[in-house]
């Protein structure tokens, strides 16, 4: 729409060259030609205080007869950011023209009655607006033909000479097209309305600050396109819901403990076949969930599905209990690695802003049963919560440490308070906790534990003896796992190294053993 957008954009220079202002005499012209969106004929100064920006102020013949009235009109018009001031033809002093120059506002003198200039200019503005209305009607018909959101955005961008157009949700770009300006941009935003979410979404255009686009027309185009954008978004989301049915159904199937993948596929072979899942095919599972323990009230499914298209548009995203799930074909390990990389590079910032985390299953040479990879992805996502919003975590790098994710550390600290009261009350508690925890970390090796703590082995042995005196059960193998968990929590909560003098500490270069 480049030609029409520029032709319907009226400015002072164009109107002077071949428009309704050709019959006026410039007394002063600003270096930059101002836009013209309206015209007003005024017969008293107070009327100028009500005009809108980008208005040509035409003074009646009576007002333009006195130099002081013109000076006052110039000041009022400048305050209202008027495009120009037109006065009756006369000989004006250099002081009036100098004032227009200092204020930076165009001053024109009409050869005849200024009212004729106002009428001619009003007709020209009306004609331009009628052309604009016709163009908007044509554009509305064109954009209504598109049913897919990417096509709708492309149609809008083409209409705006290829500028950047995006659909945004709470500042997160869900979909975009066009070329983003390199120089500072003029941003025009139109509300699209809520789509399965409590936070309204917006249609945004970013225009070059140095461009010649008609900003008023740009906003009108976005307003006309907003219903089509919302309709395409809703239609796309409903289609994705239908496509995601097999994934959602698979998420509800469970594999019994101890049963093999072969047993699972045999038990559900007819259902898996009807849902479209192929036996022995490798998939990578991706699970999204909220980073907090409590799920926000707003529904992010429609938003997350648009973001997911940036990662794997052919794999539907299903809304499941406690999150969202997608299964991506991954015949080779490189495909699974690329999937994790795309999640981190394309979605991580958006996930952080939305308060979400993501988990991925691991890739195996022998295709694991589908419920197993779903469980891996979910465990990885839950484990990612402790690392903060936006975290993308793969189960491959997590392994058995995923178990610690589900430990209630506050509950363990309470257990320590109740079951080890003498240790918790001891002034040398931090040193004893660190010693015993390190001892257990190193599978009962005094030498390795002492080296890790940078103390003499005699010092470590003394601390272990002190721990036994304080009631820590180090000689019962069935209780060592629980002791290790308790002390690990206490060690993590310690504010720092102890400030007191440890009576059990022996220098590494000493051979004395404290009694």
**CATH class of this structure's domain 245-406:** alpha beta
User: Burial level of 3, CB count in 10 A (0-12/13-18/19+)?
Assistant: exposed
Residue 503 scores a pLDDT above 50: no
Give the pLDDT of residue 483. 85
% of the chain exceeding 90 in pLDDT: 30
Give 172's DSSP letter. Answer: E
The residue assigned the tokens 């305050």 is 79
Q: Which of 84-98, 141-155, 404-418 has the lowest mean pLDDT?
A: 404-418
Arithmetic mean of pLDDT, 152-169: 91
Q: Residue 368 phi/psi, 5° resolution?
A: -75, 160
Tokens, residue 131: 């052309």
Q: Is the pTM here over 0.75, yes or no?
A: no
Give the pLDDT of residue 508. 43
Q: State how far the Cα of 150 lies from the Cα of 175, in Å rounded to an integer.
A: 7
**The domain 2-125: what is its CATH number?**
3.40.1390.20
> Whole-number mean pLDDT of the chain?
83
Neighbours of 276 (CB within 10 A): 10
Cβ neighbours for 194, distance < 8 A, ≥ 6 positions apart? 200, 201
Q: What is the dihedral of CA 358, 361, 363, 366, to 10 degrees?
A: -160
In whole angstroms, how far apart are CA 350 and each of 303, 361, 403? 10, 21, 28
Give the pLDDT of residue 296. 54
Tokens, residue 236: 């796309």
Q: State how far the Cα of 112 lies from the Cα of 89, in Å rounded to an integer.
A: 7
Q: What is the pLDDT of residues 182-239, one digit of tens each?
A: 776 789 999 997 655 566 789 999 988 766 667 778 888 999 999 999 999 999 999 9
Q: In the 3-class helix/strand/coil scheme, how is 80-110 assigned residue by residue?
A: CCCCEEEEECCCCCHHHHHHHHHHCCEEEEE
Task: Characterize 206-236 residue by residue with b for buried, 16 or more Cβ atoms within 10 angstroms of its Cβ, and e for exposed.
Answer: bbbeebebbebbbebbbebbbebbbbbbeeb
Kindly report each contact of residues 394-400 with a partner whose C-beta sits within 8 Å and lies 24 or more positions away, as own/partner: 394/340, 394/359, 394/360, 394/361, 394/362, 395/359, 395/360, 395/361, 395/362, 396/360, 396/362, 396/363
**Selection from 131, 132, 123 nearest residue 20 by Cα:** 123
Residue 513 scores a pLDDT above 80: no
Give the pLDDT of residue 65. 59
End-to-end C-alpha distance for the chain, whole angstroms: 93
User: Burial level of 261, CB count in 10 A (0-12/13-18/19+)?
Assistant: middle
Q: How sure is the predictor about 85, in pLDDT bands with cuts at 50, 70 and 90?
A: very high
Cβ neighbours for 318, distance < 8 A, ≥ 6 positions apart? 244, 245, 247, 248, 251, 324, 325, 326
Q: Which of 52-56, 140-144, 263-267 has the lowest mean pLDDT?
A: 263-267
Q: What is the pLDDT of residues 4-62, one digit of tens each?
A: 444 567 889 889 988 889 889 999 999 988 888 889 998 888 888 888 999 999 998 87
The CATH superfamily of 145-239 is Dynein light chain 2a, cytoplasmic (3.30.450.30)
In whole angstroms, how far apart are CA 351 and each of 355, 423, 461? 6, 43, 49
Q: State how far the Cα of 205 lies from the Cα of 186, in Å rounded to an integer.
A: 8
- What residue segments make up the domains of the chain, in order of their start? 2-125, 145-239, 245-406, 409-493
Angle at the Cα of 299 from the Cα atoms of 297 and 305, rounded to 5 degrees: 155
Give the pLDDT of residue 497. 41
Give the pLDDT of residue 289. 93
Our measurement of the distance from residue 269's CA atom to the centroid of its chain's CA atoms, rounded to an integer in Å, reads 41
Residues across the chain: 515
Residue 179 scores a pLDDT above 50: yes
Give the pLDDT of residue 154. 94
Q: What is the pLDDT of residues 353-370, one digit of tens each?
A: 999 999 999 888 877 778
Q: How sure is the predictor about 308, in pLDDT bands with cuts at 50, 70 and 90?
A: very high
% of the chain exceeding 70 in pLDDT: 85
Q: What is the pLDDT of residues 437-481, one digit of tens each?
A: 888 888 888 899 889 889 998 998 999 998 898 888 888 888 888
Rounded CA Rg of the chain: 37
Q: State how far the Cα of 456 lies from the Cα of 235, in Å rounded to an integer.
A: 70
Arithmetic mean of pLDDT, 329-351: 92
Residue 3 scores a pLDDT above 60: no
Give the pLDDT of residue 5. 47
Query: 280 or 145: whose pLDDT is higher?
Result: 145
Tokens, residue 341: 């990389």
């Amino acid at each position: 729409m480049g030609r029409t957008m520029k032709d319907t954009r009226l400015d002072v220079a164009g109107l002077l060259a071949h428009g309704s202002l050709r019959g006026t005499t410039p007394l002063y012209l600003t270096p930059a030609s101002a836009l013209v969106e309206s015209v007003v004929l005024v017969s008293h100064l107070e009327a100028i205080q009500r005009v809108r920006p980008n208005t040509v102020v035409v003074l009646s013949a009576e007002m333009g007869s006195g130099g002081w009235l013109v000076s006052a009109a110039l000041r009022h018009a400048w305050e209202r950011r008027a495009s120009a001031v037109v006065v009756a033809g006369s000989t004006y002093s250099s002081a009036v023209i100098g004032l227009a120059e200092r204020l930076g506002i165009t001053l024109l003198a009409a050869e005849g009655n200024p009212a004729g200039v106002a009428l001619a200019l009003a007709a020209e503005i009306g004609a331009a607006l009628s052309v604009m209305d016709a163009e908007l009607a044509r554009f509305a018909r064109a954009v209504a033909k598109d049913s897919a959101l990417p096509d709708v955005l492309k149609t809008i961008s083409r209409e705006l000479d290829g500028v950047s157009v995006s659909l945004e949700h709470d500042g997160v770009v869900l979909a975009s097209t066009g070329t983003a300006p390199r120089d500072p941009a003029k941003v025009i935003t139109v509300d699209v309305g809520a789509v399965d979410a409590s936070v309204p979404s917006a249609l945004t255009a970013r225009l070059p600050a140095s461009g010649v686009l008609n900003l008023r027309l740009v906003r009108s185009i976005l307003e006309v396109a907003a219903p089509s954008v919302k309709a395409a978004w809703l239609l796309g989301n409903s289609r994705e819901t239908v496509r995601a049915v097999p994934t959602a159904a698979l998420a509800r199937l469970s594999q019994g403990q101890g049963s093999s993948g072969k047993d699972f596929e045999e038990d559900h072979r007819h259902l898996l076949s009807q849902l479209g899942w192929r036996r022995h095919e490798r998939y990578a599972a991706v699970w999204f969930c909220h980073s907090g323990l409590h799920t926000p009230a707003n529904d992010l499914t429609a938003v997350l599905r648009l973001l997911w298209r940036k990662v794997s548009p052919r794999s539907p995203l299903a809304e499941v209990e406690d999150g969202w799930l997608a299964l991506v074909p991954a015949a080779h390990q490189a495909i699974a690695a690329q999937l994790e990389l795309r999640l981190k590079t394309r979605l991580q910032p958006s996930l952080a802003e939305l308060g979400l985390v993501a988990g991925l299953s691991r890739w195996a040479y022998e295709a694991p049963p589908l419920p197993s990879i779903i469980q891996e992805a979910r465990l990885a996502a839950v484990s990612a919560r402790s690392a903060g919003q936006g975290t993308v975590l793969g189960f491959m790098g997590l392994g058995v440490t995923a178990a610690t994710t589900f430990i209630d550390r506050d509950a363990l600290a309470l257990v320590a308070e109740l079951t080890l009261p003498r240790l918790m009350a001891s002034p040398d508690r931090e040193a004893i906790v660190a010693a015993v925890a390190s001892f257990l970390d190193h599978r009962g090796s005094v030498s390795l534990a002492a080296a890790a703590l940078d103390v003499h082995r005699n010092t470590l042995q003394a601390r272990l003896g002190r721990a036994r005196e304080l009631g820590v059960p180090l000689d019962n193998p069935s209780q060592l796992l629980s002791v290790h968990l308790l002390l690990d929590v206490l060690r993590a909560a310690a504010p720092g190294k102890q400030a007191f003098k440890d009576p059990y500490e022996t220098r590494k270069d000493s051979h004395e053993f404290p009694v």
